[in-house]
Every structure is written in C-alpha cells, then in structure tokens.
Structure 1
Amino acid sequence: MHVNGFTYGPLTPLLAYFMSFLGSAIGLQSASRARVAVGSSRYRWLAMAALAIGGTAIWVMHFIAMLGFTVPGADIRYDPLLTVISLAVAVLIVAAGLALAVRRAGSANSLLLGGLITGSGVAGMHYLGMAAMHMAPSMHFDVKLVLASEVVAVAAATAALWFALNVRGLAATIGAAGIMGVAVTGMHYVGMAALHVTATAATDPAGWMPGMPVTAEAAGGGMSAAQLLTPLVIGISVTTTVMLLVVAMAPTEHELREEQRAAQMSLALRSRR
C-alpha cells in the first residue's frame, strides 16, 4: 500500500522543522546558563534544556510530522499511553545525556557515550511513537533504513551535546539550532522511509480488504490524531512559549559570569577586613 508522509505538502515538514529549531535554540540557551549556574540552579536549567530539546525539538517535531502521515483507506489511531510514554522517554533520555556530558566537563568519552545513549533514546522514542500507531494494514520496517536512522540519531545527539557545552552567543546558537533541526527532522523522515505497510485479507480479523475504510475497532482502537496529538502538541507548544520567555528574561551566560566574578570579588574584599 502507498504510504503518504506529506499529506499536506510542505506544511507539516516545515512546521516540524521550525519546532525542532525552536526547541533546540531554547535548549542550547538553557544549557549555556547551566554551564555557569551552581547548585540547584544548574539542575533547573538542565531540566529546562532537556524539556526543550526532548519535548519540543524531538517529540513535538515527530508528532507534527505524523499529522501529515496517512495511508489511503486506513484509519490511523494512536495509543494514548504509549504516546505519553514516548514523550517521557524523549525528555528523560536527553536529560541523562546532558547530565553525563556536563558532569564530566564535556570530555570526548563523555560526549561519545552521551551521544550514543541520547541518540539511541531518540531513535527509541521514534519507534515507540510508531508502535503507538494502530491501523489495520500490517507495518514492517526496512532494517537497513532503521539502522541508518539510528546512525543519524546518534550523530545528531552527539552534535547536540557538543553544541550545548560549547556554543556561545546568539548567532552561534541560532546556527547550531538550525543544524540540530535538520538532523532531528532528517532522522524522523529516514525512519519513516523505513516503514512499509501491507494489506492482505489476513491482516485483520474483521475482514478488512484493500480499498475498504477501516473502523477504529479494526485499526486496534486508540484515539485519532485530532483527538490525541492536537491537544498534546498544543500543550507542549504553549510550554515552549513559556520557556522562551524565561530564557529571554533571564541573565545571559556572560551576565551570570560577571555576577559571579562580582560576588567573588566582594567576598574577597570582606575576607581581607
């Protein structure tokens, strides 16, 4: 059967890329604050970076792109629990990679290990999101393209961690976020290219045949994209807007460094008295 990943033309890919870019930019700006912050403040910035990159740049990008995914004649439904779990996986795995890289001061080994862990998690989130999708035609994947998507995910994650630890300045952040958006969106569409669906009389016990519309029950239950994905994507997008405002109003990395220097100088002067 024909799989259409661009039902609405360039609208969903461009919107997915924009959200991936925006989430990456917010995540990189949050990570830049985490490099300077100490104590609980560092972990709050890292948590926001993980939510921005994992929740917006990866998860929202994936499911916005999935809004443009259709199979003619098949009703596609989504498992609410698996969909929410895929969001948690994306955020937690990015948090783990960031924490590992920051704790070990961005050493080559920590970046490679963090990239491998985070990239595997990103790919896992993608295929967990695919597992949440129910429809009567059977789904199977091209192993070579699945492996290719894993390689792209690990490369993208490693680059993201390196950017998070090294990129400074607004212009550099925008450029790095643009590259991350291309990598993450590219991984998604490579993974989607690996998907094939087969329609046979034995595919579904309800007797579904090619060309017949499929009921929600025949598709395996679940919720439609409009019912489930739209409110979730809107919710995360609103959260992203709030994070953007927080980053915009917070002191920059340079300002935080200056504040720390001023505090250290003040403490040194007091200790001399």
Structure 2
Amino acid sequence: MNQVEHFALGGWLVVLAYLTSAVGCTLGLACTLHARHAADTRSRLGWLGLASLSLGGVGIWLMHFVAMLGFETPGLPVRYDVRWTVLSAVLAVAAAFGGLLLFGVGARFSWWRLFASGLVTGGAVNLMHYTGMWALEIKGTIGYDAGLVALSVAIAVVAATAALWFTVAADKPLHRLAAGLVAGVAVTGMHYTGMAAMRVHLDISAPDPSGVEVFSFLFPVFVLAAVALAVPICAVLLAPAPGRRPRDERVAVPQG
C-alpha cells in the first residue's frame, strides 16, 4: 500500500502556499535592500534580522506548513513531531540570516557574494524542507528519490540567486516585487519537487504514529506568522526609502 495524497484540500492550497511564500520573500528582500544601504552595522544587522524572519519564517517555513495541510494518507493518521517542527522553523530563519548576511553585508555589489548567498539561501530552503519532513509521522516508512532531491536543491539555489540579483539590478518597486515572486517560485517549486521525490510505503499493521495533528497547532502558527509579517511591514513602511546607489555600484548591464 503506497497511496498518498498531496493535494487533499484542492488546488487552491497550492495557490495559497505560493502567495504565502511570495509575500514573505518579497518583504524579506525589501528588508535586505534596506540592509544594503544601512548607515551602520547595528542597523544593517537589524534589517537582516527582519529579512530572515520574513524570508525564513514566512516565505520558507510557513509556506511549507501551508502546503503540508494538503498531505494525507487516506484512511490512515498523519502526525507531526512538535520538536522537529519547531527546529525546522529555527533552522529556516537562522540559515536565511546566514545567506542574507553574505549578500547584505555591504552596499557594494559583488558577484562572489551573490553566488555564495544564493547557495546558502537556496540551501536554507532545502534544509528547512527536509528537516521539516523528519517531523512527519505516518503508518509506514518514507524514502526519497536521489535524482529528484538533487533537482529540488538546484531549483532552490538557482531561483534564490536570481531573486537576490533582482534586488540590486533593478531600482523600480515593480522589479523588486518580481524578485519576491521569483523567490516564491524557488520555495514552492522546491517544496513540491521534494514532495514528488518522496517514496512512501504505508503499512496498516504498523503502530499508530505519535505526535500531534497538524490542525491542532494551526492557530498558534498563524498568530506567530502574523507577528513575523507585521513587524517587518511596519519597519519598511516607516523607514525612509533606501538611498540610491552610485552608478558604479550598480550591476553592470551591457549596452546593446
């Protein structure tokens, strides 16, 4: 017996998961832009902390949580280990902070910093996903297809790098929104590719899984998510617009 359902609540949940990720990523990248133009180290680290909270906590972790609401093993219980679930959230924020610290440490653009940050930030997406999957408890076993796991890593790294590049290559708010949408693609695409890599073998004779139902901690999760969004949103709205960069600090765009 190996039947599982990834879209038990319908396709609308996929859209909601993507929008959750896009909002968190857009806000996180907006905070990163402020960090790159911060006047001092303390302000820069503060902005990067808000960015990692939005990107890692909402754009990555909450997106995963929303998408997993659609996961079912029909007729059999699904439970979650709270400790692994909390750890995955902490790792998502911490890893996102590490990646953004590489990129947002200064206003001057650097290609090596961009690629390193894309690698770490994309890795944060994967780290959160597969750590979060350790929290999943079912009547059976879970394995993974190595090829699809590798593809999920590549999707996250490439799209995360592209999103970060947008934050310095474009000065218009619409372009920065595009960066968040691209990052949302990275997170959502990685998640469902990672889910496609799952090889689930259900066993109705196995003991019932321990842990809690996902809906039992739905309310506190969304309360925390609202706070994680509200604080950065207020900070971005109240802060002056990031200073315009001198021409020589922008990404060089070849002239046709």
2:214 is aligned with what amino acid? A
Question: Contact 2:53–2:228 at 8 Å: present in 1 too?
Answer: no
Residue by residue, what CA displacement relative to the aligned partner does 1:16-51 show, whole Å, maximum 9, x if unpaired? 111111111111211111111122111111111111
1:160 corresponds to which of 163, 186, 208:
163
Contact 1:70 1:76 in 2 (8 A): yes
What is the CA-CA distance between 1:201 and the residue it aligns to? Answer: 6.2
Aligned to 2:55: 53
Partner in structure 2 of residue 234 of structure 1 = 223
Residue of 166, 180, 184 corresponding to 2:183 = 180
What's 2:66 paired with? 64
Instruction: Give the unaligned 5+ runs of structure 1.
Output: 207-217, 258-273
Which of 128, 141, 148 does residue 125 from structure 1 map onto?
128
Give the SS at the match of 1:140: strand
Q: CA deviation at 1:169?
A: 2.7
Shift in Å, 1:82: 0.9
Whether the 8 Å contact between 2:29 and 2:164 is mirrored in structure 1 is no
Does the aligned pair in 1 maintain the 2:36–2:105 contact within 8 Å?
no
Counting matched residue pairs gives 242
Counterpart of 1:18, as a letter, is L
Q: 1:36 and 1:49 mapped to 2: Cα distance?
A: 14
Q: Which residue of 1 aligns with 2:24?
A: 23
1:139 — aligned with what? 142
Larger Rg: 1
Q: Return closer, same or farther for 1:121/1:178 CA change in 2, 3 Å cut-off.
A: closer
- SS for the counterpart of 2:212 is coil
**Does the 8 A contact of 1:17 with 1:181 survive in 2?**
yes
Deviation at 1:222, TM superposition (A): 1.0
Deviation at 1:125, TM superposition (A): 0.9
Q: CA deviation at 1:70?
A: 0.8
The answer to whether 1:110 aligns with 2:113 is yes
Post-superposition Cα deviations, 1:187-243, rounded to whole Å, max 9, x if no partner, equal 1100011112112467x2x3xxxxxxxxxxx21x11110112442133213321332
TM-score, normalisation: structure 2: 0.87
**2: CA distance, partners of 1:229 / 1:78:** 12
Contact 2:60/2:92, CA 8 A, preserved across alignment: yes
Residue identity matched to 2:27: I
SS class of match (1:196): strand
Structure 2 unmatched ranges of 5 or more: 246-256
Q: Distance in 2 between matches of 1:106 and 1:89?
A: 27
Going from structure 1 to structure 2, the CA distance change for 1:167 and 1:46 (only over 3 Å counts) comes to farther
The change in CA–CA distance for 1:45 and 1:166 in structure 2 (over 3 A counts) is farther
Please report how far the alpha carbon of residue 7 of structure 1 lies from its aligned counterpart in structure 2 after TM superposition: 1.1
CA RMSD, 1 decimal: 1.9
CA distance in 1, matches of 2:226, 2:196: 26
Q: Determine the C-alpha separation between the residues in 2 that align with 1:230 and 1:191.
A: 26
In structure 2, the partner of 1:215 is: none
Runs of 4+ in 1 over 4 A off after TM superposition: none
Question: Which moved further from structure 2: 117-126 or 185-194?
Answer: 117-126
Q: Residue 78 of structure 1 contacts residue 228 of structure 1 at CA under 8 Å; is this kept in 2?
A: no
Matching residue within 82, 85, 98 for 1:83: 85
The Cα of 1:54 is off from its aligned counterpart by 0.8
Given that 1:79 and 1:133 are in contact with CA atoms closer than 8 Å, whether structure 2 keeps it comes out as: yes
Contact kept? 2:139, 2:203, Cα under 8 Å: no
3-state SS, counterpart of residue 253 of structure 1: coil
2:250 aligned residue: none
- SS at structure 1 position matched to 2:142: strand
- 1:223 maps onto 2:224 in alignment: no
> Which residue matches 2:7?
6
Secondary structure of 2:157's partner? helix
AA partner of residue 212 (structure 2): M
Q: Distance in 2 between matches of 1:188 and 1:239?
A: 21
Q: Is the 8 A contact 2:139 2:204 kept in 1?
A: no
What's the CA shift for 1:115? Answer: 1.8
Identity value in percent: 39
Report the Cα distance in structure 1 between the residues aligned to 2:32 and 2:117, rounded to whole angstroms.
15
* Aligned residue in 1 for 2:252: none
